[in-house]
Amino acid sequence: MADILYIVVPCYNEEEVLPETSRRLREKLEGLMAAGKISRESRVLFVNDGSKDKTWEIISKLHQECSLFSGADLTRNRGHQNALLAGLMTAKDRCDMAISMDADLQDDIDAVDAMVDQYYAGCDIVYGVRSSRKKDTFFKRFTAEGFYRLMNAMGAETVFNHADYRLMSKRALEGLAQFKEVNLFLRGIVPMIGYRTGTVEYERGERFAGESKYPLKKMLSFAMEGITSLSVKPIRMITGLGFVVFLVSIAMLIYSIVRWAMGETILGWASMICSVWAIGGLILLSLGVIGEYIGKIYLESKARPRFLLREVLEDRDGQADR
C-alpha cells in the first residue's frame, strides 16, 4: 500500500501566486496517486502565516472545492521558519512523509517524484539542492553562495545550495519535534536529526508572481539568526581576538620600555588615539555578539510557544474530492 504524502507550503501574502501553485500541486498529487506512488489520502497543506491579504480566504475556498487541499491558519505572523514548523508538526500525525516547499513556484515541483523515489529507497530526509545559479545575477549569486559559506565557516552546518525544499519521513518529523528551541533555523537543525539522507538536484525557476520575501537585509538577519542559534564559534573567536590583542599589548609594552631606555620617551598622539578607538570598537563589537547570545538565552528561558493555530481545515468525511 502506498504511503501518505503531505506537501507543506508556508504562505505569507501569496494571493497572487496561490491559484497557479494550487493548480500545479493538484496535478502533481493526482499524477502520483494515479501512478500508485502515494496514497489517495495525501494532501497539500497550506500554512497561512498571518497574511494581510486574501491568502486565507483563497486557501479556505480551495479546501471547499477540493479536499486534496488542507490549511492551517496561524493566529499571527510568526515568520517563515515558525510557519513551516507549524505545518510539519500538523502533518506529522497525518502522513508517512512530508515535503516542504515555498509557494512562489521557484522550487521545481517535478523534483517531488525523485524525492518520493528516494524515500521508498530508504532515505528519511531528501534535500532539494539547486543544480546551478546561472539564472541569478552576479550580486544574487555572490550573496547567496556567500551565505552558505559563511554559515559553515561559523560552525552552523548546512547543506550547500539547499533552502527549505526537502522531504522528511514520519520518524524524521518525530525527531524534529524533539528540538524545542524557540530560535528556529531549520536548515541547520534538520541535518542534526541524522538518519539516512539523499539529495535531488533541480533547476530553480523565477518567482511566478509577487515580491521576494528574502531581500538582502533579511538574508543577513537570517544568517545571524542561524549562526547564533547553532554555533558558539563567534564567542570563541572573541576569545581568540582578546588573546591576540593581549599579546600585541605586551609587545607594545616591551617596545615602550626599550624606547624609554634609549631616551626616546616622547611618543606620537596619533598611535595612541588609533589604539583607543580600535580597542573601543573591538569591545563594542564583542559586547554586541555576546548580547546576541544572551538575548537568545532570554527568549529560550521564557519557553514561549513557537506558533499558535487558529484553525486547521480537516477533510470532509475523511474523503478527498475526485
- 90-115 pLDDT, tens digit per residue, is 999 999 999 999 988 888 899 999 99
Three state DSSP letters for the chain: CCECEEEEEEECCCCCCHHHHHHHHHHHHHHHHHCCCECCCCEEEEEECCCCCCHHHHHHHHHHHCCCEEEEEECCCCCHHHHHHHHHHHHHCCCCEEEECCCCCCCCCCHHHHHHHHHHCCCCEEEEEECCCCCCCHHHHHHHHHHHHHHHHCCCCCCCCEEEEEEEEHHHHHHHCCCCCCCCCHHHHHHHHCCCEEEEEECCCCCCCCCCCCCHHHHHHHHHHHHHHHCCHHHHHHHHHHHHHHHHHHHHHHHHHHHHHCCCCCCCHHHHHHHHHHHHHHHHHHHHHHHHHHHHHHHHHHCCCCCCEEEEECCCCCCCCC
Confidence of residue 319 (pLDDT cuts 50, 70, 90): very low
Claim to verify: residue 167 and residue 269 sit in the same structural domain: no
Question: Which position has the grid cell 588609533?
Answer: 274
* Choice between 110 and 300, residue whose per-residue pLDDT is larger: 110
Claim to verify: residue 194 and residue 255 sit in the same structural domain: no
Claim to verify: residue 191 and residue 114 sit in the same structural domain: yes
Strand 97-100 vs strand 5-11: parallel, antiparallel, or unpaired? Answer: parallel
Question: 145-153: long-range contacts at Cβ-Cβ below 8 A with a sequence spacing of 24 or more?
Answer: 147/219, 147/222, 147/223, 150/223, 150/227, 151/187, 151/188, 151/223, 151/226, 151/227
Claim to verify: residue 239 and residue 161 sit in the same structural domain: no
The pLDDT value recorded for residue 273 is 60
The pLDDT value recorded for residue 121 is 93
Claim to verify: residue 22 and residue 150 sit in the same structural domain: yes
Confidence of residue 187 (pLDDT cuts 50, 70, 90): confident
CATH code (residue 103): 3.90.550.10
Is there a domain that residue 320 lies in? no
The whole-number average pLDDT for the span 21-44 is 93
Task: Determine the distance from the C-alpha atom of residue 194 to the mean position of all C-alpha atoms in its chain, rounded to a whole number.
Answer: 17
d(CA 110, CA 124): 19
Is pLDDT at 140 greater than 70 in this prediction? no
Confidence of residue 74 (pLDDT cuts 50, 70, 90): very high
Claim to verify: residue 248 and residue 184 sit in the same structural domain: no
The whole-number average pLDDT for the span 116-120 is 94
63-72, 78-87, 298-307: segment of lowest average pLDDT: 298-307
Q: How far is CA 149 from CA 71, 80, 125, 155, 223, in A?
A: 35, 22, 22, 10, 11
Claim to verify: residue 168 and residue 53 sit in the same structural domain: yes
The candidate with the shortest Cα–Cα distance to 159, out of 89, 232, 226, 86, is 226
The whole-number average pLDDT for the span 279-305 is 74
Claim to verify: residue 196 and residue 253 sit in the same structural domain: no
Claim to verify: residue 104 and residue 176 sit in the same structural domain: yes
* Choice between 145 and 67, residue whose per-residue pLDDT is larger: 67
Domain count, the chain: 2
35-52, pLDDT tens digit by residue? 999 999 999 999 999 899
Is there a domain that residue 321 lies in? no
Is there a domain that residue 203 lies in? yes
Question: Which position has the grid cell 500538523?
Answer: 90
The whole-number average pLDDT for the span 152-176 is 84
Claim to verify: residue 180 and residue 285 sit in the same structural domain: no
Claim to verify: residue 123 and residue 248 sit in the same structural domain: no
Confidence of residue 271 (pLDDT cuts 50, 70, 90): low
The pLDDT value recorded for residue 69 is 94
Give the dihedral of Cα atoms 280, 281, 285, 287; nearest 10 deg: 10
Claim to verify: residue 166 and residue 89 sit in the same structural domain: yes
* Choice between 191 and 251, residue whose per-residue pLDDT is larger: 191
The pLDDT value recorded for residue 209 is 54
The residue range of the domain holding 142 is 5-215+309-313
The identity of residue 96, as a single letter, is D
* Choice between 33 and 221, residue whose per-residue pLDDT is larger: 33
